[in-house]
Amino acid sequence: MSTDDTYPTKYAEYEDMFDPMQTDRQARRQRRTRRNPTPRKEPDEAVAELADTTGLEAGFHPTYQAARHEEQWLLSSLSGFYDQQLITDVVAQVKGGKEASVYRCLAHPLTGVEFLAAKVYRPRMYRTMRNDYVYREGREILASDGKEVKKNDSRTMRAIGKKTAFGVQVSQTSWLMHEYATMQMLYQAGADVPRPVEAAENAVLMSYHGDEHMAAPTLNGVRLPLREATALWGQVLYNIDLMLSLGKIHGDLSAYNILYWEGKITLIDFPQVTDCYNNPNAYDILRRDIWRVGEYFQSQGVRCVPDAVLEELWKRHVRVSPRDLLADLSVLEAERDEEEDSD
């Protein structure tokens, strides 16, 4: 898991598991001539088998009663966190979505907290992200160790392009690692985001916001007194500004992706985070983010002007990109050198 070299081997196993006939021509020929071929496993069966040999054997029996298919996926996705002594149980589902579900887990005593939240991506969630290229521009593909997949790794790149089972898994893991890496960066910079604890191929573990009765609601379901709403609008802008100072745009910011608990906000849901210098759609993505949150705060009586905020923040952080600045500086240097030569 920890070096680039182990990456193809690790995913080769995945590929075999989901589609044993994928790329290995030799194996394909052998399979054709085999007298008693082992029937090909369906993905569900493969996941079930994986769950049987990981979580269950290791004693991981979540209290949360999930549907059979969800339970197997849950076990295979979270048993690593159990083995690492980060969680001891899954007690409730906070929210089930099309792409990911979030669970409240009992934290291991060694972590020093009572609960942790696990966001578990559904198998093949990638397929529902039809416009993902809008966000992907300017982003590298990340493997589950958080390292960049090399562009000359033609097997992986081809699989991603063709959306084979293996390629889809790599894309999904890359989305997840972007989410995790962004949370780490923002948390360290002091932004209002969950504390990232650990990442695995299909899941991210982070601080849980809420208590044993309920998870923190998202802002869209919260009515705020004007004074508090004004202060929180300022706090949201502080976070957008901080992200821009790190070269990032949330990409899916709205009142639906901001938690509210005990007067504090927490920005969540980062897989679509976008680079503000290298993505040609950056301005439009930032505009949509600011407008969406702005509309919520307007509904709470705050007199905010999203376009004015957008112009100010864009001017402050992005208008001169580091690349343009470097180019300008090198022109200046060349001119100075010319002048010195002519003296």
Distance CA 184, CA 319 (A): 26
Inter-residue contact 107 to 86 (CB < 8 Å): yes
Residues 241-260, interacting with Mg ion (CB under 5 A): 257
**Residue from 257, 272, 279, 300 that binds ligand ATP (CB under 6 A)?**
257
Q: Phi/psi of residue 57, each to 5°?
A: -60, -35
Region from 43-51, 72-80, 93-101, 331-339 binding ligand ATP, contact rule CB under 6 A: 93-101
Tell me whether residue 214 or residue 305 sits nearer to ligand ATP (CB atom).
214
Q: What, of Mg ion, ligand ATP, none, does residue 249 touch, CB below 5 to 8 Å by kind? A: none
**Tokens read off for 52:** 């049987």
Any alpha helices (H) in 118-225, and if so which ranges? 132-136, 154-162, 165-188
Tell me whether residue 200 or residue 216 sits nearer to ligand ATP (CB atom).
216
Give, in degrees to the nearest 5, the angle at Cα 199 between 180 and 80: 170
Q: What, of ligand ATP, Mg ion, none, does residue 37 touch, CB below 5 to 8 Å by kind? A: none
Distance, CA of 187 to chain centre: 14
Region from 80-88, 90-98, 136-144, 231-239 binding ligand ATP, contact rule CB under 6 A: 90-98
**Residue from 106, 269, 271, 290 that binds Mg ion (CB under 5 A)?**
269
Inter-residue contact 101 to 122 (CB < 8 Å): yes
From residue 319 to residue 338, what is the string marking binding to Mg ion with x (rule CB under 5 A)?
--------------------
Which amino acid makes up residue 243? M
Inter-residue contact 66 to 37 (CB < 8 Å): no
Distance CA 53, CA 36 (A): 25
Q: Binding to Mg ion by residue 72, rule CB under 5 A?
A: no
Phi-psi region of 126 (alpha: psi -120 to 50; beta: other; left: phi over 0): alpha
Min CB(159)–ligand ATP separation in Å: 24
Look up residue 220 and give its DSSP letter. Answer: G
From residue 94 to residue 133, what is the string marking binding to ligand ATP with x (rule CB under 6 A)?
xx-x-xx-x--------------x-x--------------
Min CB(44)–ligand ATP separation in Å: 22
Give the residues lining the site for ligand ATP (CB under 6 A).
Answer: 94-95, 97, 99-100, 102, 117, 119, 194, 206-210, 215-216, 218, 256-257, 259, 268-269
Give the residues lining the site for Mg ion (CB under 5 A).
Answer: 257, 269
